Chains A and B, each alone.
Chain A
């Protein structure tokens, strides 16, 4: 074991002196959490909607008041008034506004006559997120517009009562489990991929190979030292990341301890996977070239950003064998629901088995000679 510790010591001493590496390992995932968390905040706001009122009567003015109320309160959109439709459409095409609300000339007459009044929403459907938010918001607005001044006390209309089991989860909190795993992955990619191959290309491994160290000791040393660095990144995310994301009681020692176990399991699984991929690679360009691809193939099918149930069948296959899936699932349980370890025992079992298999295969494939 002393040889394994020598490899770990060498790696950690180098890590300690590499400011850039520490920065990438610890700060970058936090930056990613903040930027992604707020960029994809989950609620679309401040869209500009052109309003072309060709009616100008009281029922139309009531609509204007409702638009103003939305712009002040929910802030989903801000109305911009146009005197003619052609200019509004032109601005829509030029991307100045996201939609055009047209109130036709006979709107008020039809409202008062009860003759199926219509308003039109012309939207820029090249931006599906904005278009969906706009149409959903305006569709929700119309029942309020149509509501009678006084509702009858009893109705035959069925309604849906929604009960939320957990407090409201902002998107930044939903994102945190995925970002924790991503931070561990970035560390594994740097430690187990880029630095490992760079050291090999620089001839540092030749120094190891002339000593009496065994294959398994080398792989174990590389895996443990890489995992330790990845664990450091994971710890930063489960503490500082939780504080930034606004997780309730973020520094609860029991919660931290449970998450730490999952951080260790995730770090071991990802670093051993990385060594398995890189064990026969000699070209330093390879880890850099496949970094983006691996990130995409592992991160997105894991359910970190979108529910896995809606994936096509071929992508579900990746989801099943992807260690990210189990790590993300586990962190979701611990971060968002504060469950016990029993709820993630399947995830832990998969990650530890994955580590054992990947390390065994890497040892088998590792060449003790140049």
Chain B
């Protein structure tokens, strides 16, 4: 039995297809990452799964409830941290948690028990009575995480929870999520732009591009699925027109992609390819402007499957977003 089952879900905004027939399942207790460039359809997908946006066709079952036919049961089963900050800056941490507990119909006795524990879980006990406008970005994010858990949901959706945070706060948020998942037996679905985070923390990752599923597997298997064990990123001065063909026939080269003057060479043996590359460049009188050799990362997987770096894309005019929507940064559909 899966906690999340997405079946051929599609969302159109006029002629623009934001999500195009996606299907996947998420098992209980998984941390499931949704990766994709801006405008890929991640947020629209999360909004459909959390009943905020109705799908054009297809559906999803969350905790065995249908998002179209049983939205209230879905809402009771899930905790959601949307992209936008949805807590009141003027209210204290305690007040925010209390009011949201009431919105979920939690009894006074239950609130008295739950809220102090939640504040403790997100390290905000000593700040409970301070208005959250005094909080740092990381503290606000932790409070939002606590707020999403006031009704003890089974499945937790987070839309770019670490965007806009400093590296220390990012690590703290992810560690907290991993701990909460263990302690509260959660299934977590998260979108992020940070590949290193997704690599370390997600059990499985779906790469979404142009509303479609480009790849889905564990980070390890995704990295193994692309050609080469090392990536050489190299730029040249005075490279001839057919230079990419020359690079492709170097020893151990699995694949070569180029963008402007930068060549990404996937190699099964990085050191050997590097030596050959240097010799070939010298023989052909091509100067090397820069060169780096690294092991395959999730970034390389992402570039391999989507064909581009995280890019800015024209965002579809979503009903969810006004031009004044305050965001933490980045993000999109």
A9 to chain B, nearest CB (A): 6
Closest-by-CB residue of B relative to A18 is: B90
Say yes or no for B314: interface residue by CB 8 A criterion. Answer: no
Say yes or no for A154: interface residue by CB 8 A criterion. Answer: no
Closest-by-CB residue of A relative to B79 is: A210
Q: List residues of B (64-89) whose CB comes within 8 Å of A's CBs.
A: 71-72, 75-76, 78, 80, 82-88
Q: Are B86 and A10 in contact (CB-based, < 8 A)?
A: no
Choose one: B82, B103, B321, B323; the contact of A3 (CB below 8 Å).
B103
The contact string, 1 if C-beta is below 8 Å from chain A, for chain B 306-333, is 0000000000001111111110000000
Number of interface residues of A (CB under 8 A): 31
Q: Are A212 and B75 in contact (CB-based, < 8 A)?
A: yes
Q: Are A5 and B102 in contact (CB-based, < 8 A)?
A: yes
Choose one: A14, A203, A211; the contact of B104 (CB below 8 Å).
A211
Choose one: B85, B90, B99; the contact of A6 (CB below 8 Å).
B99
Say yes or no for A13: interface residue by CB 8 A criterion. Answer: yes
Say yes or no for B105: interface residue by CB 8 A criterion. Answer: yes
Q: Are A201 and B99 in contact (CB-based, < 8 A)?
A: no
Q: Are B84 and A206 in contact (CB-based, < 8 A)?
A: yes
Closest-by-CB residue of B relative to A3 is: B103
Q: Are A282 and B99 in contact (CB-based, < 8 A)?
A: no
Q: What range describes how many residues of B lie at the interface? A: 35 or more
Q: Are B105 and A207 in contact (CB-based, < 8 A)?
A: no
**A contacts with B: majority SS:** helix
The contact string, 1 if C-beta is below 8 Å from chain B, for chain A 67-93, is 000000000000000000000000000
Q: Are A6 and B103 in contact (CB-based, < 8 A)?
A: yes
A13, B318: Cα distance in complex, Å: 32
Q: A370-B318, A370-B319 are in contact. Are A212 and B90 (CB under 8 A)?
A: no
Say yes or no for B47: interface residue by CB 8 A criterion. Answer: yes
A204, B75: Cα distance in complex, Å: 16
Q: Are A211 and B54 in contact (CB-based, < 8 A)?
A: no
B10 to chain A, nearest CB (A): 16
B59 to chain A, nearest CB (A): 14
Q: Are B322 and A370 in contact (CB-based, < 8 A)?
A: no
Choose one: A209, A283, A369; the contact of B54 (CB below 8 Å).
A369
Choose one: A7, A200, A210, A283; the contact of B50 (CB below 8 Å).
A210
Choose one: B53, B54, B71, B326; the contact of A203 (CB below 8 Å).
B326
Say yes or no for B297: interface residue by CB 8 A criterion. Answer: no
A13, B90: Cα distance in complex, Å: 8
Closest-by-CB residue of A relative to B54 is: A369
Chain B neighbourhood of A10, CB < 8 A = 88, 91, 95, 99
Extra pairs beyond A9-B99, A10-B88, A13-B90 (8, CB < 8 Å): A3-B102, A6-B100, A17-B90, A18-B90, A201-B325, A206-B86, A369-B54, A370-B321
6 contacts between A and B (CB under 8 A): A3-B103, A5-B102, A7-B103, A200-B322, A207-B82, A369-B52
